[in-house]
Every structure is written in C-alpha cells, then in structure tokens.
A and B are shown apart, each in its own frame.
Chain A
Amino acid sequence: MEHTVSDPLVDDYLRRLDVAAAGLPPDRREDLLGGIREHIDAAIASGEVTDEASLRALLDRIGEPEEIVAAAAEPGDVQPWAPPPAPTVYYRRPGMGLEIAAVLLLTLGSLLFVVGWLAGIVMVWSSRRWTLAEKLVATLVFPGGPGLVLWLSAVAVGQTMCTTTSGDGASTDVVETCTSTGFSLPAPFGALAVLLWLVLPLVVAGVLLHRARRRADSEPPVPVYPATRSRWGGLEIAAVLLLGVGGFLVPVVAPLAGLFCAWMSSQWTRAEKWVATAIASMGLMIPVLGLAFAALARTS
C-alpha cells in the first residue's frame, strides 16, 4: 500500500487550503482537508498524474482553496475567510484606579512631604476624567497638600530661634530678635489658614472624586477577556508583598523591586499600576519618615 503522497506542490496547496478554511468549525475543516487529500491521493493512484504539469492540472481542476471554502460556507457560519470567533467577552464598570490613587496621594499622600503630593498631581494631570479647570483647582488648592502644613508647623516649632543682642556701646537697650525658618503666620490668620489648608483640599478631593465617578459611569463598559480575568499571578503577588511589607524590611530596595514587578505585570491595568506606584512612593518614604521623627524627638 502506498503512503499519502507528499510533494511540495501538494503540500503547498493543502497549506493554502488549511489557511483559507480557518473560519470553518474544526471538524468540518478537518473533513474538508481529509477529503481533498484523499482526492489527490486517488488521482495519483489512478495513474493520471505522471509529471509536474499533470499535477498542476489536477490541482487546477480541484480549484482555488478560497473557492472550495466558499462552497463549504453554510447559513449561520462566520464568513469562511473571517478569523475564528473571538472568545466570550465580559464587561466591567470602568475602573477609577488612577483617580482614586491621585486623590489619596493629594490628601493622605501629602504627608510624605512633597513627593506624595507631586505624584498625585502627575496623576491628576494624566487623567482624562477631569477638566482643565478641575485640574488647576486640584493643583492650586493647595500646593503641597494638607501634609505640607503639618510638616512646616512641625519644623517651625522646632526651629524658631531667638537671639538676644545688646545695643551698641552707649545704649542699654536690649533687642530680642526671633527668626523662624519655618512656617509661621500672625496668630489670628495662622489658625484660620491652617484650618483652610487642612480642610479645603479634602473638600476639593471629595468633589473631584465624585465628578470622576460620574464621568467614568458614562463611559462604555470595559471588556475583560478571559485570558486577562485573573489578576493574580506570581508577579502580582510578589509586587503586593514587596510593596506592602517590603518597605519595612528592606528599605528602598524592596519598594523599588515591587514597583518593577507591578509595571512588568501583563495582568494589571495601567491604572492599577499607578496605584502600585503610589504605594511604592509611600514605601520609599518610610526611612525618610523614620529619620524625620527621630530628629523631631531629639529637638523636643
């Protein structure tokens, strides 16, 4: 018994047919290819194919692959030349990762001196869910965020210096000069300003978040493909561990490694990666905070 014929011309023809039949259900595609192959084998076995010219003539009579696949199309099929149907798609509400991270950084994150607030501002300006005016308000109310006030008051308390100097020669006047290198305002304004500086950013943050939510809800639902539904691979778990507790155990290095893992992830969205970045920037500040508190404890 002869084996199935293998000839470059035949192989090439069957390959073209296979490609053309990509839109058919697998069993019919298989059936079709099997039938044509059988036909070619039988023609060769019958002795009608003797040389390349007669083989080409045979393939010509069988017809163009696209034509054969078109004949295999049935009502209800996808078009035979269309790609296979896409996998089932799920939809979810548009995510707000970027906006939530931004607002958290502008308020709570501002406790990390200027870094957290700056990161928040970068996120605010990269969001498409806020208008120019809203972005300006977020930036200007108030630069540095509520955290900066707390920092500056702490520094001011620690560093107000008073020097006492005697007047020159003849005079017995004594001049006391107090200089504060930190933040200080005349007392009546000071209390009000501090209150505003603490409260207004929170109000602005609330309004911004509300508006972003409303705009996100008016966007079309986001498709979630089955392949990307799981958000927890090894890389993602590593990122969370490094970002979450790593900063306490291995300062600076662990948050940076976590940040790297997060941005390498193919399963997290961009917004989720920004949240990871926000957390990493807080993790990076842990040693700085530690030093600052140590310094404060020493001065007081």
Chain B
Amino acid sequence: MEPGEAQNPLTQLRRGVIEYCVLALLTEEELYGFDLVKRLGESESLVTSEGTIYPLLSRLRRVGWVTTTWRESESGPPRRYYAITRAGQHALAGFTSEWMRFRDSVDGLLGTGDGHGAHGV
C-alpha cells in the first residue's frame, strides 16, 4: 500500500467493511463477479476501484465464507457465481451486531447520530 493511501482513514475502513457488504448482497441471491461489482458500485464511495473486489472475493472463498460454481452464460464465457455459506452467514451476523454498536458509538461521539437513520435500520 502506498504511504499516502494509508493516510486516508476511509481506505482502511472500507477495506475492513466491504467484504461484509459483499456477504450481505449474497444473502439475497447468488451473483457473479461483474454483477456483484455493479451492485456494490451503486452505493457510492464503497468501491473506488472495481478490480479490488476480486482479491476480496478470492479471500472470502479461501476462508470458506462463500462458494463458487461455474455456470454457462447466454452471452459470453462461463461465469463464476458466488453463494454465501453457513459460515459466511455466521460471520455476517456477528459483524452486523458489532457494526451497529460501533456505528452508534461513532455517531454519538461525532454528533451525527441524531440527524436521521441512526435507529432506523
């Protein structure tokens, strides 16, 4: 990592959080890489470079939180579809409760919690 990049606190935060966003997207349906990236891209400021999702997917697969299956596609080469595993669901549940406490603490300190949505999710 570039030294300058490390100075942006959101870069580190984004790296830690985004894999749970991927898991969350996969609880709804199985997705292939390109779609997954598009869906993440819809939420602004989550993904800076689309390519960085792939190392993350690779890591999730290696720790057993997602599995992949190859499927034929109508308009191109076969695609690798990602599905969340039971271990992935546990990890996501654990992160979700920790995230809410973390978010509340930060919101409380920054004074950003009273505006909107702090208790709405």
Q: Do A and B come from one complex?
A: yes
B27 an interface residue at 8 Å Cβ cutoff? no
Closest to B5 in A: A70
Q: Decide: B77 and A72 in contact? CB cutoff 8 A.
A: no
Complex: A38 Cα to B37 Cα, angstroms: 12
Give CA–CA (A38, B52) in the complex, Å. 14
Contact A42 B49 (CB under 8 A): no
Q: Do B54 and A41 have beta carbons less than 8 Å apart?
A: no
Query: Are B52 and A67 in contact, CB atoms less than 8 angstroms apart?
Result: yes
Checking A2, A38, A70 against B34 with a beta-carbon cut-off of 8 angstroms, the contacting residue is A38
Q: Which residues of A contact B76 (CB under 8 A)?
A: 1-2, 41-42, 44-45
Tell whether, in the assembled complex, residue A46 and residue B49 are in contact, meaning their CB atoms are under 8 Å apart. no
Q: Is the CB of A39 within 8 A of B59?
A: no
Q: What B residues does A74 contact at CB under 8 A?
A: 59
> For the complex, is A3 an interface residue (Cβ under 8 Å from B)?
yes
B-to-A contact residues, CB < 8 Å: 1-2, 5, 15, 32-35, 37, 48-52, 54-59, 72-73, 75-77, 79-80
Listed residue (A63, A70, A71, A73) with the most chain B CB atoms within 10 angstroms of its CB? A71
- Judged by a CB distance under 8 angstroms, whether A36 is at the interface is yes
Q: Which of B34, B55, B75 contacts A39 (CB 8 A)?
A: B34
- Is there an interface contact between A28 and B72, defined as CB atoms closer than 8 Å? no
Q: Is the CB of A39 within 8 A of B51?
A: yes
**A2 contacts B77, C-beta separation under 8 Å:** yes
B54 touching A39, Cβ below 8 Å = yes
Instruction: Assign chain A's interface to a size class.
Output: 20 to 34
Chain A, residue nearest B48 (CB): A63
Return chain B residues, CB-CB under 8 Å to A71.
15, 49, 51-52, 55-56
Q: How far is the CA of A61 from the CA of B57 in the complex (A)?
A: 17
Q: Indicate if the CB atoms of A45 and B58 lie closer than 8 Å.
A: no
Q: Contacts A2-B77, A45-B73, A63-B49 given: A68-B33 contact, CB under 8 Å?
A: no
Residues of A within 8 A of B48 (CB): 63
B51 CB contact (under 8 Å) in A3, A46, A62: A62
Contacts known (A28-B58, A39-B34, A68-B55); A62 close to B49, Cβ less than 8 A: yes
How far, in whole Å, are A267 and B55 apart by their CA atoms in the complex? 42
Known contacts A32-B55, A67-B52, A73-B1, then 6 further A-B pairs from the complex at CB < 8 Å, ordered by chain A residue: A31-B54, A39-B34, A67-B49, A69-B55, A71-B15, A72-B55
Checking A32, A42, A69 against B32 with a beta-carbon cut-off of 8 angstroms, the contacting residue is A42
Task: Check B77 against A39 for contact (C-beta < 8 Å).
Answer: no
Q: Is the CB of B79 within 8 A of A72?
A: no
The answer on a CB contact under 8 Å between B55 and A3 is no
Tell me whether A62 and B50 are in contact (CB under 8 A): yes
Indicate if the CB atoms of A1 and B58 lie closer than 8 Å.
no
Q: A2-B76, A38-B79, A39-B33 in contact; A32/B54 too (CB < 8 A)?
A: yes
A3 touches B1 (CB 8 A): no
Choose from B51, B75, B77 the contact partner of A68 (Cβ within 8 Å): B51
Distance A62 CA – B47 CA, assembled complex (angstroms): 10
Q: Are B50 and A38 in contact (CB under 8 A)?
A: no
- Tell me, yes or no, whether A64 is within 8 Å of chain B by CB: yes
B94 to A: closest C-beta gap in Å = 20
The smallest C-beta distance from A1 to any residue of chain B, in angstroms, reads 7
Q: How far is the CB of A241 from chain B (nearest CB, A)?
A: 54
What separation, in Å, do the CA atoms of A41 and B33 have in the docked complex?
11
